[in-house]
Structure 1
Amino acid sequence: MSNPQDQENQSLGKANVPAGGFASIERAFLRLTFWQTLLSLAGVFTGGVALYAALSESEAVRQQTAATVWPYVQVTIRDFVQDDKAEFSLEVTNAGVGPARMREMQLLIDGEVYRNWRAVLAAFLDAEVAESVRYGRSDVTGRVLSPGDSLVSFRTNDRATVEGMQGAIYAGRVSLSYCYCSIFDDCWLAVISAIGGPEPVPVEQCPIYGADRFDN
């Protein structure tokens, strides 16, 4: 038999919970969970947009900074033969607005690698004659050229040498490759021949010619 007091308590408990009360609480909880989820997603989206904006701004600043230190290395050939005078020179100039670090250079004649100027002379002259030719030279590989700096990689007044080099270069037998980098390690590779060549192209890193490097 039920205790009268227990019956009274059960009656009071039922009286305190309105009809449909549990369903209302559940709906309220679901609404709260929905808005919390929506706010969380909005926060993630806002954070993603902010991160993207920060990265874009950082890249734009880097590109702007890189443009202020952009090197541009040109190679110029100067040559003439007139009466009893002759001259041939190969000049390297940084025409950009930032320092250029000269990394690698390679010189080919008829597709064959030549490693120094003495070997180049021997390609145009008798080996014994080539040994007696007087010329001036400057190291290029490993140098840092400031904006506006120039250096003469090779120069000679020997007529036979000048004529030999003119003939080979303007016949398209000679190809010169060189690679240089900015202070941010942005690098460019250029390949030139008698009729010039394309603009230096960006590369991830300079090629390593090793034993085939031109030793100026």
Structure 2
Amino acid sequence: MHPFTLPESIQARVAARCGTPHPFARLNPKSTALVVVDLQNGFMREDVAHAWCPMAEHVVPAVNRLAGALRRAGGGVFWIQNTFDARCEAEWSVMQDMATPAARARRAAAMSEGTVGNALWPALDVQPVDEVVRKYRYSAFIQGSSELPARLRARGFDTVLITGTVTGVCCESSARDAMMLNFRTVMVPDGCAAMTDEEHAASLIAFYLQFGDVLAVDECIAGFAATDTKEAA
């Protein structure tokens, strides 16, 4: 996993604005969903990937551990599948224009529904109680991308924990849009993967400064317990 620590100076700026460096340190698990973004063969298996992220495989144990802890505490787990279809060509032409014909062809081959690349990484602990949601943009929350916001609200979830790959693209764009849609949003540093440590850190810090919280897996699990303790009291 990427080494990452929030700089003290950055925490101080957040504390000055929020009154605490971690506004979402206490998490009600029953209203919290883990959103796992794009942990698919098309980003993780070098032979079929169109955008291989070598670090992504290494965050899987942490993601599985967080998923198990949240399920046991009464929360939900949502696995997001980045998917390519004809709408991506017609309705998201700007993204297509920013890629070479060869890159567009690789993405279509890797991420179209039913392909090996589109499938979730086999080591993920996907359970029957979980939900799998397809998305058609980088962000899982932006209008027209997926059914995720509606599914979350239908089950009473107002808090989301963002994990997956790549930290600064699909994870961060999902996290920012989630906050804009009024979800309490946390990015999980040891559950996200980027191409470099520097890109990972830059994304998390930019998000943390204005959009939500950054809590490691152990801190999230402690947040579930803190809520249980307060309710019991």
TM-score normalized with structure 2 length: 0.23
TM-score normalized with structure 1 length: 0.24
**Which structure carries more strand by proportion?**
1
Structure with higher RCO (Cα < 8 A, 6+ apart): 2
Point out the structure with max Rg over C-alpha: 1
**Which structure carries more helix by proportion?**
2
